[in-house]
Amino acid sequence: EVVDINKIHKRFCNKGLKTPRILITGGLGQLGTECAKLLRKSYGEENVILSDIIKPTDNGLTNGPFIFADILDFKGLQKIIVNYRIDWLIHFSALLSAVGEQNVPLAVRVNIEGMHNVIELARQYNLRIFVPSTIGAFGPDSPRNPTPNITIQRPRTIYGVSKVHAELLGEYYHHKFGLDFRCLRFPGVISSDPPGGGTTDYAVAVFHEGLLRKRYKCYLEPHTRLPMMYIDDCLAALFQFLNAPNERLRRRVYNVTAMSFTPEELFNEIKKHIPDLHVSYKPDSRQNIANTWPQVFDDSEARKDWNWTHEFNLEKMVISMIQDVSENFI
Ligand code: AKB
């Protein structure tokens, strides 16, 4: 197992709850399959429906339903929600920061129109809806060290703009219609499954390249500090937050994080395990994005309101990633 599902499950399993039926969109991205594994363990295989527009490969998928779902097809989604009696929607479909800048019209469709569809469906069918947001929802005018839960946002990427839009729309639907909208702003998530098209992805790529070739060319400068979190903590936060009773939530959107480091700090930690790792730096346009993002994320509100705590610091994350990547990809 890449993610320690048993441990996360033991930490947060909420026993008294009615079993929800859950639809996950964008299920073949970085978070979807691991999230499905965790939720299936709690709620049963048949009750978690993973979906995407991509055809899955066999490796990595657990048993349990996988279906085609296009978030731009409103009627198609209605049909799925009715046929599968969905109660909760976890909406992962999105173009990330770097890839969004390469195709802005597509990012507008997927990230903004897609959000319009799922939130309206959640209202019509009275679903609990979880949408991830990001450190990318902040911009150059935001305080960067630390970045509090409520502050100036004004991001400069289409990804960030779409996520601020999602946060505000969700809060609006909550206040106007009583929608159970829940949103966590994640930092860079580090997992052995490769993510696609983010600015924080160097912190994943270095493990794959480092273990395979002992060389890595980093597209960010050595001192670029960004908030990060290991996948186990990301899923633990999601699971704990999804199950938190409504009365515990003083807001619908929370910052969560685990650590902050620079490329140089990460590489030095990895070199303790792979001493012959050779790193060089060639910053590209992703540096401009990183320069506008939080360096240290203040998640004290989540820690206070629903007892968020992380387990993985830099040292522990590096050990776990080396093990995951070696076992599953080398
Ligand atoms: C990205 O880099 O775009 C994402 C994120 C921080 O939201 N990983």
DSSP 236: H
Q: How far apart are CA 234 and CA 229, in angstroms?
A: 6
pLDDT in the model for residue 13? 57
pLDDT in tens, 231-256: 999 999 999 999 999 999 999 999 99
| Cα radius of gyration (the chain) | 19
* Nearest Cα residue to atom 4 of ligand 1: 198
What size, in residues, is the chain? 330
Q: Which helix (H) or strand (E) is 43 found in, with range? A: helix 32-43
DSSP lists the bridge partners of residue 186 as: 134
Residues classed as catalytic: 159
Q: Give the per-residue pLDDT at 3.
A: 72
Which amino acid type is present at position 255?
N
Residue 163 Cα: closest atom of ligand 1: 7
The residue to mutate among 199, 260, 291, having the most atoms of ligand 1 within 8 angstroms of its beta carbon, is 199
Instruction: Choose one of 186, 191, 231, 297 to mutate for the ligand 1 pocket test, by most ligand atoms within 8 angstroms of C-beta.
Output: 186
The reply to whether ipTM tops 0.95 is: yes
Give the model's pLDDT for residue 16: 53
Q: The pTM is what?
A: 0.94
pLDDT one-digit tens code per residue, 263-289: 999 999 999 999 999 999 999 999 999
Which residues does the chain have with pLDDT short of 70? 1-2, 5-6, 9-17, 58-62
